[in-house]
Amino acid sequence: MFEALAEQPSDSLLALIKAFAADPRPGKIDLGVGVYRDEEGRTPVMAAVKAAETILLREQDSKSYLGPEGDVAFVERLAPIVLGAEQAASPRLAGIQTPGGSGALRLGAELVAAARPGARVWLGMPSWPNHAPVLKAGGLVVTSYEAVDLAGQTLLFEAMIAALSQAAAGDVVLLHGCCHNPTGIDPDAAQWRVLADLVARRGLVPFVDLAYQGLGRGLEEDAEGLRTVLAAADEALVAYSCDKNFGLYRDRTGALYVLARDARAAGAVASNLKALSRVNWSMPPDHGAAAVRLVLERDDLAAQWRGELAAMAERIRAVRTALAAREPRLAFVAAQNGLFSNLAIDRSGIEALRARHGVYMADSGRINLAGLRLAEVDRLVAALDAVGA
């Protein structure tokens, strides 16, 4: 039967990792894969997480099954950090642990599709390349619209409002909570209020993807837009990833929060989330969530984590500022948030940067600012000049 399968394209970012690893040039620069890197180019285990893992190793006395909901205390401890204390305590809220933000997106899509088969989701472009496939695989119909002008490095906010004004009540709207991937261009506070108002007026269902909380303007600041929208919406979903802000990537740590119209509906949501979890992965992997729970349960570790996260965000901002200061044409990167900006370079420029200068970026022109050391800023700018980008 398998002859019937069409060959699938390999993930171009994973191919980029391999190409970078195989490049023998000592001065090569990796701006490709979306992970945080320190000034030495490492993606270390955060000290607060290491400390929690040490405690786990010492104290964990069983690895017996937890259940499809995963670590309930993890989901509860995380909720106020994401949603704020008030929403976290709402009887309208249901939450479940998921394998990363990807698992949360998939589960959220499946929940919506179970409630309303053939439901539509509006997706601003460009977006994380996995958004549309995951939402589609979860049973939603994806309608995309242009939301960012890369040449001008601006959010096409009016076009966004115009597109969403065509959405019908009950349609889902996918929004990046902060640190937009792949552009770093987030709505400002006033724009979030307009979005919240539109969502409320038209009865739309925001589905906020928050994968980089704390890596932009700050832990609280990065959640402001999400909270503005949630306060206005009757129903909403939040796909959360701890994989970046706790550095847990391969441990696949995340959660899905769903706000329902009332407590009774939230109960139905909770039971459906468990049922969907059960038929997907039965139960999520425990280790990362247990480590996050331990960090959040202990004041000293929580403070240490906040400090480490703030230092990571600080380094990213320092790289952004240095790049903008060194090259006026790149001034826009200083105003953008999180790991990514998109340099809007054409394919031939991107390939020339790789071949001639050992500078690796995604085929889309997206760069990971954390992949750059401050000491490499001059070299990157010289390479961009040399290829006319």
Which residue, 238, 165, 254, 241, is CA-closest to 206? 238
Q: How many residues does the chain have?
A: 389
Out of 209, 235, 286, 376, name the contact with ligand PMP by CB under 6 A.
Answer: 209
Q: Which of 71, 171, 209, 222 is catalytic?
A: 209
Q: Which of 122, 128, 192, 305 is catalytic?
A: 128
Please tell me whether residue 97 binds ligand PMP under the rule CB under 6 A. no
Sequence-ordered strand ranges (E) for 120-213 = 120-125, 141-146, 148-149, 154-155, 172-176, 205-210
Out of 95, 101, 214, 365, name the contact with ligand PMP by CB under 6 A.
Answer: 101
Is 244 one of the annotated active-site residues of the chain? yes
Please tell me whether residue 216 binds ligand PMP under the rule CB under 6 A. no
* Footprint of ligand PMP on 127-146 (CB under 6 A): 128
- Taking the complex as a whole, how short is the minimal distance between the CB of residue 133 and ligand PMP, in angstroms? 12
Residue 71 vs 322, nearer CB to ligand PMP: 71
Please tell me whether residue 247 binds ligand PMP under the rule CB under 6 A. no
Burial of residue 5 (number of CB atoms within 10 Å: 0-12, 13-18, 19+): exposed
Instruction: Give 241's contacts (C-beta < 8 A, 6+ positions apart).
Output: 100, 101, 102, 104, 210, 211, 212, 253, 254
- Taking the complex as a whole, how short is the minimal distance between the CB of residue 243 and ligand PMP, in angstroms? 4
Please tell me whether residue 124 binds ligand PMP under the rule CB under 6 A. no
Burial of residue 127 (number of CB atoms within 10 Å: 0-12, 13-18, 19+): buried
Please tell me whether residue 241 binds ligand PMP under the rule CB under 6 A. yes
Please tell me whether residue 368 binds ligand PMP under the rule CB under 6 A. no
Out of 32, 34, 108, 187, name the contact with ligand PMP by CB under 6 A.
Answer: 34
267 vs 207: CA distance, rounded Å: 19
Q: Which amino acid is at 368?
A: N
DSSP one-letter code for 308: H
**Position closest to ligand PMP via CB:** 100
- Taking the complex as a whole, how short is the minimal distance between the CB of residue 242 and ligand PMP, in angstroms? 7
User: Taking a C-beta distance cutoff of 8 angstroms, is the pair 119, 172 a contact?
Assistant: yes
- The piece of 58-66, 71-79, 98-106, 164-172 that touches ligand PMP (CB under 6 A) is 98-106
- Whether cis (ω within 30° of 0) applies to the bond prior to 126 is yes
**Which tokens hold the place of 191?**
């724009």
Please tell me whether residue 181 binds ligand PMP under the rule CB under 6 A. yes
Please tell me whether residue 243 binds ligand PMP under the rule CB under 6 A. yes
Out of 32, 95, 100, 284, name the contact with ligand PMP by CB under 6 A.
Answer: 100
Please tell me whether residue 211 binds ligand PMP under the rule CB under 6 A. yes
- Taking the complex as a whole, how short is the minimal distance between the CB of residue 168 and ligand PMP, in angstroms? 25
The DSSP secondary structure of 283-307, one letter per residue, reads: S--SHHHHHHHHHHHSHHHHHHHHH
Instruction: Give kind and range of the element (H or E) at residue 55.
Output: helix 47-59
Please tell me whether residue 213 binds ligand PMP under the rule CB under 6 A. no
Please tell me whether residue 251 binds ligand PMP under the rule CB under 6 A. no
Please tell me whether residue 336 binds ligand PMP under the rule CB under 6 A. no
Is 305 one of the annotated active-site residues of the chain? no
Please tell me whether residue 110 binds ligand PMP under the rule CB under 6 A. no
User: Taking a C-beta distance cutoff of 8 angstroms, is the pair 387, 356 a contact?
Assistant: yes
- Taking the complex as a whole, how short is the minimal distance between the CB of residue 100 and ligand PMP, in angstroms? 3
DSSP one-letter code for 37: -
Quick count: other Cβ atoms within 10 Å of Cβ 155? 19
Interface with ligand PMP by CB under 6 A: which residues? 34, 100-102, 128, 176, 181, 209, 211, 241, 243, 254
Which residues are tagged catalytic?
128, 209, 244
